[in-house]
Chain A
Amino acid sequence: AQSVTQLGSHVSVSEGALVLLRCNYSSSVPPYLFWYVQYPNQGLQLLLKYTSAATLVKGINGFEAEFKKSETSFHLTKPSAHMSDAAEYFCAVSDNRGGSQGNLIFGKGTKLSVKP
C-alpha cells in the first residue's frame, strides 16, 4: 500500500534560514508526489508536484523539492525563510490502485514556525 511519512510534526527556523521539510514515500509503482501548504483555518494550496518529469521541481513562493528514488524521498526546501512561510505543510502521494486512482494519500503534516 502507498503511504507518506513526514518526519517532524513541528519545525522551527529563524527568518532567513534554510527551510527543510522531510517527506518519504512508499509506493510499488513510480509515484506522483505533491506538496501542499495550509494557513490557519483555510484550505490547502498546491506548492508543487512531481509527475516523473524533472526530478528537481520548482514551486510557488520560492519552494522546491527533489525527487530521489534511491532514498524514496521528496523533501521540500526553501533557501531563505520568510515570516509569511509559517504554516502547515502536507506531502501527498497519488493512489495508483485500480478504482481509486487519483485519490491523494496525505502525510500527517509538518507545522513550520519562523522566528524573527
Chain B
Amino acid sequence: DGGITQSPKYLFRKEGQNVTLSCEQNLNHDAMYWYRQDPGQGLRLIYYSQIVNDFQKGDIAEGYSVSREKKESFPLTVTSAQKNPTAFYLCASKEGNSPGLTEAFFGQGTRLTVV
C-alpha cells in the first residue's frame, strides 16, 4: 500500500543533542512537508520541498534542518539550537501538479520528548 512512513513513533533526546526524524513516502509525490504540532496551536510549517535537491523554510525553521536527496525521503534534524523541541512532528506529501488543488497525505507522526 502507498503511504508515508515516519519513524520512530516516539523519540527521547537529551538536551544539547541533535536528533533526526525519518520520513519516507512511496506515493511518487513531488512535494513534502514537515509540520510541528503543539496543543492548541494547530500545525505550523517548519520546512517544505517541492522538488528533489531543493527546500524552503517555513514559518518556524529556526533550530531545524532538512535534506531532500531522494524523491522518497525528507528527513528532519532537530538541532541543539531549537529551544523548545518537545512536540509532535508530522510529515506530509502532495502531488506536484496543481498543488493548490490536491490534498496532503500525512504520516503517523513522531512524538519527540527532551529529557
Closest A residue by C-beta to B94: A102
Contact B40 A108 (CB under 8 A): yes
Min Cβ gap B100→A in Å is: 4
Confirm or deny: B104 has a beta carbon within 8 angstroms of a beta carbon on chain A: yes
B18 at the interface (CB under 8 A from A): no
Would you call B90 an interface residue if the criterion is a C-beta within 8 Å of the partner chain's C-beta atoms?
Answer: yes
A 16-52 contacts with B by CB, 8 A: 32, 34, 36, 41-46, 49, 51
B107 at the interface (CB under 8 A from A): yes
Give complex CA distance A51, B102 in Å: 9
Cβ-Cβ contact count across A and B, 8 Å cutoff: 65
30 A-B pairs within 8 Å (CB atoms) are namely A32-B100, A32-B101, A34-B103, A41-B109, A41-B111, A43-B4, A43-B6, A43-B90, A43-B106, A44-B90, A44-B106, A46-B103, A90-B42, A99-B56, A100-B56, A102-B31, A102-B50, A102-B94, A102-B99, A102-B100, A103-B45, A103-B48, A103-B58, A104-B43, A104-B92, A104-B104, A106-B35, A108-B40, A108-B42, A109-B40
